[in-house]
Amino acid sequence: MENQGQVIIHIDGKYGAEPLTPDNYDITLMRDVLEYASAMLDLDKKKDRPVATFHVENGSVKNIFTVSKQKAVEFASILTLMLSTTNPLDALEPKTAVAFENFQRFAVQNNLSLDIHSSENKQSVVRIAPDTELRRTESLWVDAEVYYYGTLIDAGGKNKSNIHLDTKDGAVKIDADKEYLANYPGNPLYRRYGVVAVAKQNIVTGAIDSSSLKLKELIEFEPKFDMDYLKQKIEASTPIWSGVDVDEYLHEIRGGNYEG
C-alpha cells in the first residue's frame, strides 16, 4: 500500500424514499460515477498507467478508487487548486473540468450530494450538491477551427454519430453529422485524412475542449514530396521578396530575438 493512494467520492442522499446505501446503490448511478471518475482521474488511458481498482463502502455510499500514490497526490493538488480559486473549473484542463460538470449534473438530476477528496490531503474536500453551481465560465470559451491528420478507424453510431481518427498523439473522437457520413463517397474506413473540425477553445490558455469536437470536413490526405510544386512556389514568391533585408525582417517579427 506504500505506493498506492485513494480518491474517495462520498455520495449522500436518498434513492427513492430510502436513504442511499450500498444495498440500493443502483447500477445506473454506479455506471455514471465510474464514467465521470475515470475522466476526472484520467484513467481511460489504457497504456502506461498503474492499475486502478474500485470498491464501495457504507456511509451512505463511499466510492473508493485505489490508484497510484502519484495519482492521489496529483488529484489532491487539483482539489486544493479548486478550493482556492473563484471560478475553480476555469483553472482545470478541459477534460477534468467536464468531468466535474458531469458530477454537478449528476447531483442535480438525482438529488444527491457528493464530497470528493484524496487520501493525500483529507482537508481538501470539494462538495457538489444540487444547489451548487460548478461550471466553467462560458465567456472564456469560443468556437475555433482545429485540424487533425490520421487514419479513420471507426465511423457511425446509432444515436450519436461520430468518427474516430488514429493520430500520432492517439485516437481522437469527433462528433459527425449522420447525413454527412451517409453521403460520403466510398468506404472511408482505414483511409488517411486531414480533418477540419470545430471545437471550444479557451481564450486564456488556448486549451481545446476535445469533448466539443464537431466534424466540418474530411479531406483525403496522402503526404508526398513534390519537387516540381516546390520549385513553382519558390519561383512565384521570389519577386515578392526581392529587396527585403532578411536579417532586418526576422529581427522585426521576432521582437529583436533573432541573432542573425
Question: pLDDT tens digits for 11-59?
Answer: 999 999 999 999 999 999 999 999 999 999 988 766 677 889 999 999 8
Looking at residue 255, its pLDDT comes to 57
Query: Domain ends where: 136, 171, 196?
Result: 136
pLDDT of residue 46: 60
Question: What's the pLDDT at 206?
Answer: 84
Task: Kindly state whether residues 50 and 105 are assigned to the same domain.
Answer: yes
Contact assessment for residue 163 and residue 174, using Cβ atoms and an 8 Å cutoff = yes
What range does the domain containing 192 cover? 139-220
Reading the block at residue 259, the C-alpha cell is 541573432
Distance of alpha carbon 90 from alpha carbon 8, whole angstroms:
23
pLDDT number for residue 241: 80
State the total domains in the chain: 3
Same domain? 103 vs 60: yes
Q: What percent of the chain has pLDDT over 70?
A: 93
Least Cα distance to 31 among 56, 52, 2, 14 occurs for 56
Pair 98, 129 in one domain: yes
Q: Which of 136, 151, 170 is the last residue of a domain?
A: 136
pLDDT for 260 beyond 60: no
Same domain, 9 and 132: yes
243 in the same domain as 167: no
Question: Do 10 and 113 belong together in one domain?
Answer: yes
203 pLDDT band, cuts 50/70/90, is confident
Alpha-carbon separation of residue 210 from 60, 80, 142, 204 (angstroms): 34, 25, 13, 16
The pLDDT value given to residue 228 = 84
Give yes or no: residues 105 and 143 share one domain. Answer: no
Quote the pLDDT of residue 247: 77
Residue 244 above 60 pLDDT?
yes
* Average pLDDT over every residue of 231-235: 86
Torsion sign, CA atoms 175, 177, 180, 181:
positive
Domain containing residue 163: CATH number: 2.40.50.140
- The C-alpha cell that represents 128 in the structure block: 457538489
More confident residue, 76 or 221: 76
Return mean pLDDT, the chain: 89
CA 170 – CA 92 distance, rounded (Å) = 21
Are both 56 and 97 inside the same structural domain?
A: yes
Check whether residue 9 and residue 89 sit in a common domain.
Answer: yes
Q: Are residues 150 and 246 in the same domain?
A: no
Q: What is the pLDDT of residue 125?
A: 97
Look at residue 37 in the predicted model and tell me its pLDDT.
Answer: 96
Q: Are residues 22 and 113 in the same domain?
A: yes
pLDDT for position 258: 47
Residues 28 and 99 in one domain: yes
For the stretch 135-188, pLDDT in tens is 988 878 889 999 999 999 999 988 889 999 999 888 999 999 999 999 999 889
> Which of 153, 155, 149, 172 is CA-nearest to residue 222?
149
pLDDT for res 254: 62
Does position 5 have pLDDT exceeding 90, yes or no?
yes
Q: End-to-end alpha-carbon separation of the chain, Å?
A: 57
